[in-house]
Amino acid sequence: MDHLYTPWRMAYIRGEKKPLEGCVFCQLPHTDGETQIIARSQYVYVTLNLYPYNNGHVMVVPYEHIASSEAMPVTALTDLMVTANKTLGALRKLYGAAAFNMGANLGQAAGAGIAEHFHFHIVPRWAGDSNFMTVVSSTRVIPDTLDNMYRELKAVWTELYGAEETL
């Protein structure tokens, strides 16, 4: 018998981590404690996805509560893409990913889990990462914990770009 371990889910099951009230993306940068925020820039921040498709699945999120990138000024859009490029560099160094999926689900019909606050996904990919578990069982296997992903990606980000954070 095979076992699928997902230790990061236990805190949720036990009720130790309460979901934030209101918009999680608006509150996250102002929350005390572990937030899984990797980096901050003037208009956006980079955070781990708590329900990743692969190791290193992150989101670049604007501080402003907007539903679409169309509402972002050019300076914020530029910051979003420059930050996304830095994120690619950090993910490449840490994981040696062969490829990436990048994009956003705009609106509930497009699959957005939090449709009211725009966020941009970056998902590292490797040849063969859609193995039998995904194809046959509709199950993704994430071989690392969120805490370890955070620690390692934060360290690589600091090594590449420094530790300065801006709010």
CATH number at residue 96: 3.30.428.10
Query: Is residue 151, in this structure, part of any structural domain at all?
Result: yes
Q: Residue 56's closest CA among 21, 109, 20, 96?
A: 96
Residues assigned a catalytic role: 119
Query: Is residue 107, in this structure, part of any structural domain at all?
Result: yes
Q: What phi and psi, each to the nearest 5 degrees, are found at residue 135?
A: -70, -45
Query: Is residue 115, in this structure, part of any structural domain at all?
Result: yes
Query: Is residue 157, in this structure, part of any structural domain at all?
Result: yes
Query: Is residue 48, in this structure, part of any structural domain at all?
Result: yes
pLDDT digits (tens, 9 = 90+) for 26-59: 988 887 556 789 999 999 999 999 888 888 999 9
> How many structural domains comprise the chain?
1
pTM of structure: 0.82
Query: Is residue 1, in this structure, part of any structural domain at all?
Result: no
| Domain encompassing residue 86 | 27-161
Give start and end residues of each alpha helix (H) in the chain.
10-13, 24-27, 74-95, 132-137, 146-161
Which structure tokens are listed for 142? 């994430």
Query: Is residue 9, in this structure, part of any structural domain at all?
Result: no
Question: Of the given ranges (2-6, 95-99, 107-111, 124-128), which has the lowest mean pLDDT?
Answer: 2-6
